[in-house]
Amino acid sequence: MSDHSKLKQLAEAVEKAFTQLCESGGDDLAEAWHRAEEEYSVASEPSAILTLIADLERHERMLLAACVGMGAIGEALGADMDSDGEELLSMVVDMKEALEKEKALSKGWYENWKGTIVERDLLKAERDNLREDRDGLLEAGAHLL
């Protein structure tokens, strides 16, 4: 059984049935408890338990890797490694804000640069027109020389 939620529901049903049986003090709920316990026993076959253990071990490794990674980041940023992580979180928030400011500055710079390129192209076109006008005037006045 790889559906852990089903196994959890069955285990909770056994606990609930047993609690009700103990609270009532009578045998009228004993049958319900035995049925719930039997369903749980069938569902909790060794492969289900081994799957749960493998998942737990994998999650523990993932958590350890995440902690090591966060520790390395904290050390690289010079954070107090004995704190509860608030300092590191604060640093990350500050870095994110700084990045957003840099993005805004870069966008403004790009817009200015783009405007400069457009202006440059207009000036080039005007220069080329003036050169053509000059060349035309020189040709027209060449006979005066």
| Residue 28 CA to its chain's centroid (Å) | 53
Determine, yes or no, domain membership for 28: no
Burial of 11 (0-12, 13-18, 19+ CB in 10 A): middle
**With contact defined as beta carbons under 8 Å apart, do 18 and 33 qualify?**
yes
Residue 142 vs residues 33, 132, 138, 145: alpha-carbon distances, Å = 117, 15, 6, 6
- pLDDT tens for each residue of 12-57: 887 877 777 777 766 666 777 777 788 878 777 788 788 888 998 9
23 in any annotated domain: no
CA 69 from centroid of its chain's CA atoms: 15
Please indicate, yes or no, if residue 30 is contained in any of the structural domains. Answer: no
Note whether residue 122 is domain-resident.
yes
Which range has the top average pLDDT, 2-6, 40-44, 66-70, 117-121? 117-121
- To the nearest 10 degrees (0 to 180), the angle between helices 4-24 and 30-43 is 160
Residue 120 domain flag: yes
Q: How many domains does the chain have?
A: 1
Domain of 116 in residue numbering reads as 84-145
pLDDT digits (tens, 9 = 90+) for 47-96: 878 888 899 899 999 999 988 888 888 888 787 777 777 777 888 889 89
CA distance 59 to 126: 68
**DSSP structural state of residue 44:** S
Query: Residue 119 domain-assigned?
Result: yes
Residue 133 is assigned to a structural domain of this protein: yes
Nearest alpha carbon to residue 44 among 89, 71, 17, 6: 6
Q: Which residues contact 79 (CB under 8 A, 6 or more apart)?
A: 87, 88, 91
0.75 surpassed by pTM: no
Torsion of Cα atoms, 30 then 32 then 35 then 36, to 10°? -110
Whether residue 12 is contained in a domain is answered as no
